[in-house]
Amino acid sequence: MRERPTVLVVDRESDAVRSLITFLRDHDYDVVWARDGETAFHALDEARVDGMIAVLQGPRIDGLAVLRHAIARSPELCAVMIAEPGDGGTGLLALQQGATDIQRPPLHPERLRIVLARGLAHQRLAARVDEMRETLDERFGLEHLVGLSPAFALVVEQVRHVASSRAPVLIQGETGTGKSLIARALHQAGARRDERFVWVSLGAVADEVVEQDLFGVEQGAGGSSARRGRLESADGGTLFLDRIDEAPPSVQIRLLRVLRDREFERVFGENARRVDVRIVAATYRDLVIEAAAGRFRPDLLQRLGSVVIRVPPLRERREDIPLLAETFLRDLNREHNRRVKGLTRGVLERLMRHAWPGNVRELRSTLEGMIVFAQGRRLLDLSDLPAGWKDAAADEDALHMSVGMTLEEAERRLLEATLRQTGFDKPRAASLLGIGLRTLYRKIQRYGIR
């Protein structure tokens, strides 16, 4: 149930004020009554106030001073000021300083209720916008680019330096390395963070559609109405062009003009339109090779390639796998309502040895498949790995014996293989070996198994 909003009433004692307070309480408002300015200041400092109704001038009441204090504490406060017939200039000043409305006595309760309702709705919307901004910062902020390896630390540092500029950025990296996440972080860390981030995948639609989708269509073309393109939608913000290497030649020419002159024309249009947009492009191909082969314009590459950020594949930043896995487990537990505590040592070792052709995206997908089928509050072990992984793990963990091997060497290999298979879960390993836990610890120490 939503809390009742609190309204501060600042006015001297009178029958009209008592009637106003009764009206507000009957319409689900909590009311704090301040009979002078000092009491009003104290109420604003001590309690959460959602709305305020205050006289501009009264005995021991400086309404403008109370208004300034209220707005300083809560910029989105719904403040209705009551002005006497001769207070026109003061009322205008109150509006300039943040008042929502000016009303004259006698007050009309229904009008007052409508103003309060609209003001509180605006408050909730502003709070929601702030919440969404915090969520975006949490999901796409620099501090949430996960990785401590030198290769990835370089990427984060590049994003930090480049974010505040308006220069176009080219992000290069294999499929699944997180190029779109880097693009989002560039937008979120820059001056355009409160404007739109528009994502266009140039390889997702047919060539003849890309141009109209990106640049829009002029009115009357083919009997159709005018339509804005993604470029205009991103005006003031960031346009992310994923798979830029697949841009048709006609689109490449138009993009070159946007980067050079900051203007464009709609498809079938003749009038140039100005646009203020930062372009961030991404590709998994080497555009130098593409340009040499005639598939990409060298002049466009020159404009786009002034700032290049290379995102390393996961195999070049294996030391980030434990931290990435921990982050994904936390997010996936929340998403799928699971209680997985973590990974056994054996699973983590398998993750560290994997080639990861699909990079970070493959890592997250693998962990998601394991978590979905996990039951209870426990660690994921080797038995939770995908079927293909289990077969590979079985080959790796097979116990190889040879004639002439000593019993001690055979026992050591058996202990190592069992511990790997159980993810170094010692109670479980002891149970599989048919020995006591203290005996297992003694043998681990004897053979120096780590």
Residues 35-77: pLDDT tens digits? 999 999 998 888 788 899 999 988 899 999 999 998 888 888 8
Within 8 A by CB and 6+ apart from 209, the residues are: none
> Does the model's pTM come out above 0.75?
no
Read off the pLDDT of residues 303-356 as tens digits, 9 standing for 90 and up: 998 899 999 999 999 999 999 999 999 999 999 999 999 998 888 888 988 889
Question: Does 429 have pLDDT greater than 60?
Answer: yes
Residues 80 and 99: beta-carbon distance below 8 Å: yes
Are residues 155 and 302 both part of a single domain?
yes
Q: Report whether pLDDT(158) > 90.
A: yes
Do 334 and 214 share a structural domain?
A: no
Domain shared by 186 and 72, yes or no: no
Per-residue model confidence as pLDDT tens digits over 244-292? 999 999 999 999 999 999 999 998 888 899 999 999 999 999 999 999 9
Q: 3-class DSSP state for residue 281?
A: strand
Average pLDDT over every residue of 176-191: 92
* Domain termination site, one of 312, 340, 368: 312
High-pLDDT (> 70) share of the chain, %: 90
CATH of the domain at 125: 3.40.50.2300
Do 330 and 146 touch, CB atoms closer than 8 A?
no
Categorize the per-residue pLDDT at 88 as very low, low, confident or very high, splitting at 50, 70 and 90.
low
Domain assignment present for 397: no
14 and 148 together in one domain: no
pLDDT value at 178 more than 70:
yes
Residues 298 and 357 grouped into a single domain: no
The answer on 151 and 76 residing in a single domain is: no
Phi (first) and psi of residue 371, to 5 degrees: -70, -40
In a domain, 292, yes or no: yes
The answer on 367 and 243 residing in a single domain is: no
pLDDT of residue 73: 82
User: Average of pLDDT values for 208-223?
Assistant: 78
Structurally, the chain folds into a number of domains equal to 4
How far is 89 from 74, CA to CA, in rounded Å? Answer: 24
The whole domain housing 335 covers: 315-389
β-bridge partners, 6: 30
Q: What is the C-alpha separation between 81 and 55, in angstroms, rounded? A: 6
Q: Is residue 395 part of a domain?
A: no
Name residue 240's beta-bridge partners: 199, 280
C-alpha distance across the termini of the chain, in Å: 56
Q: Residue 137: what pLDDT?
A: 46
* Average confidence (pLDDT) over 165-173: 95
My answer on whether 269 and 347 are in the same domain is no
Please tell me whether residues 190 and 218 are part of one structural domain: yes
Name beta bridge partners: 56.
none
With beta carbons less than 8 A apart as the criterion, state whether 64 and 56 touch: yes
In a domain? residue 394? no
If asked whether residues 228 and 298 sit together in one domain, one would say yes
pLDDT of residue 333: 93
Asked whether residue 114 is domain-assigned, the answer is yes
- List the CATH number of the domain containing 160: 3.40.50.300
Q: Are 16 and 24 in contact (CB under 8 A)?
A: no
Going from the C-alpha of 204 to that of each of 241, 244, 416, the distances in angstroms are: 11, 11, 49
Predicted pLDDT of residue 130 = 52
Residue 393 in this model has a pLDDT that exceeds 80: no
Look at residue 38 and tell me if it is in a domain: yes
Specify whether 308 is located in the same domain as 443: no
